[in-house]
Amino acid sequence: MENSKLITGLEYDLFFSLIDNMYDEVLVYDNNYKIVYINQACSRHYSCPPDAMIGKSFFDFVDDHWWAPSILPVVYEKKKGFAIKQGTRTNCELLTIAVPLFDDNNEIKYVVMNVRDKLKDIELYNPHYIFHSEINEKIDIPIAESEDMKHVLKLINKMGNLETTCIFTGESGTGKTLIAKYMHSIGSRSNKPFVNINCACIPEELIESELFGYTKGAFSGASATGKKGLIEAADSGTLFLDEISELSFSAQAKLLNVIQDKEYLPIGAIKPVTVDVRIILATNKNLQNMVKSGTFREDLYYRINIIDIYISPLRKRRTDIKPLLDYFIKFFNDKYGTNKKLTDKVIEILINYNWKGNVRELKHLIERITVTIDSEIIDQTLLPKNVFEIEDDYISNPDSNVGETDYTSAMEKYEATFVRRIYDQCSSSRKLAEQLGVSQTKANNLIKKYIK
């Protein structure tokens, strides 16, 4: 008998009442980034009731920085479960485990997430949920039209076969992981493991056991057979440690030993493990300031700061934006079997957008457009509102929206101000249509609505 037949009438209500009152958050997405269910625990994590989240797109929340980093796009792409440590804008620290459910054609039908706060004493038993090892993966040459990125690639190509430890610095989302993979792919270790570990995704109390492993019986709850650490999994290849600033002091000390002596002691061991591994690091924090404040080891800082490669934010290298747009449109068209095209006006808007989330935000925007918009031609009327960073009288004058609480009314006032400003510059429906990148019929309707 199917499980659904067992949950009828009162039992059905009782079942969802039980789920709704679980301490852990339970979140379900469909195969198109839409939230189809979330229980009451979301109120604790995001200060938002379920009704305000169900039916909305994942991108509505990512674009507004409700949580970070995000794992859903990775689950869709890799078609397997992952676990990740996240932070929310309400200052919650979450452990999220996302698992895909498949239909008869082995395509993702739903993604179910179990989300827990208060992470102390939680152990991740499956290390593959927090890292993956890539061997012989084809890595495209990073896009580099700007002088900044050309300089970065020049350094990378010089260092490809060197064993020197280096660190990538720069804002979150600038592409540090991709560039680390590229460095590995052009080096002498390219056919060996590339182990990518985001230190921020592993709870602090587990970081040493995950990185360095442990012997059997090393501590209460340890596996009876012990566990090989992720550093040992990278033996003969490359170890990439992202968000290095999140390592505890004791883990930093052990890492220093790995860098200097190529060996370390697993938890509970009396004999060191020797590894042959190249180490690449990354951070979006100022480690020098952390050293001064006593939150990062000075000896480790000077040991890893031999070669510091800074990846500038996307807003500082706008000549990279157009080729990045072209790349991701093709990538997601191929992935989802679509044929989306951006108008010249949209490209102009996106080139001038501030991109606070850098390349990661650009990638998410293009994926969002690809999977959520039916139209083949993407004009600016289909872009999310947040890409229009326009200072107008309505927005910049706080008195103009006093008492304005209705979203639809607020957006109509914003649209009216925007249309009137453009119309004042061109004074005809044809020119307005050209400026806005819409049909002349649409332009005439806007003129009738807001001007005449």
Burial state string for 357-382 with b = 16 or more CB within 10 A and e = fewer than 16: bbbbbbbbbbbbbbbeeeeeebbbee
The answer to whether residue 91 scores a pLDDT higher than 70 is yes
What is 140-193 written as a DSSP string?
PPPP--SHHHHHHHHHHHHHTT----EEEESSTTSSHHHHHHHHHHTSTTTTS-
432-442 mean pLDDT: 75
Please state the domain extents for the chain.
3-116, 130-312, 322-387, 393-450
Question: What CATH code is assigned to 130-312?
Answer: 3.40.50.300
User: Domain 393-450 - what CATH class?
Assistant: mainly alpha
User: For the segment 334-382, what is each residue's pLDDT rounded down to a tens digit?
Assistant: 988 899 999 999 999 999 888 988 999 999 899 988 888 889 999 988 8
pTM (predicted TM-score): 0.68
CA distances from residue 451 to 417, 420, 429, 432, 447 in whole angstroms, order as listed: 10, 7, 11, 12, 5
Instruction: Give percent of the chain above pLDDT 70.
Output: 84
5-10 mean pLDDT: 51
- C-alpha dihedral, 48 to 54 to 60 to 62, nearest 10°: 70
436: its two tokens: 């806005």
pLDDT of 396 reads 44
User: Quick check: 124 and 105 in contact, CB under 8 A?
Assistant: no
Candidate ranges 19-33, 90-104, 138-152, 317-331; pick with highest mean pLDDT:
317-331
User: For the segment 233-254, what is each residue's pLDDT rounded down to a tens digit?
Assistant: 889 999 999 999 989 898 999 9
Q: How is residue 352 annotated by DSSP?
A: H
User: For the segment 18-70, what is each residue's pLDDT rounded down to a tens digit?
Assistant: 888 888 999 999 988 899 999 988 888 887 888 889 988 888 888 777 888 88
User: Quick check: 394 and 400 in contact, CB under 8 A?
Assistant: yes
Q: How is residue 79 annotated by DSSP?
A: -
How far is the C-alpha of 118 from the C-alpha of 440, rounded, in Å? 56
49-53, 138-142, 279-283: which range is least confident on average? Answer: 138-142
pLDDT of 392 reads 41
Question: What CATH code is assigned to 3-116?
Answer: 3.30.450.20
pLDDT of 275 reads 92
pLDDT of 112 reads 94
Query: How many CA atoms lie less than 13 Å away from 231 in the CB half-sphere?
Result: 31
- The residue to which tokens 């679509």 are assigned: 338
Question: What CATH code is assigned to 322-387?
Answer: 1.10.8.60
272-292 mean pLDDT: 93
Q: Is the peptide bond before 69 cis (omega within 30 degrees of 0)?
A: yes
The answer to whether residue 99 scores a pLDDT higher than 70 is yes
pLDDT of 27 reads 94
pLDDT of 326 reads 96
Instruction: Classify 47 in phi/psi space as left (phi over 0), alpha (psi -120 to 50) or beta.
Output: left
The interaxial angle of helices 321-336 and 358-372, nearest 10 deg, is 40
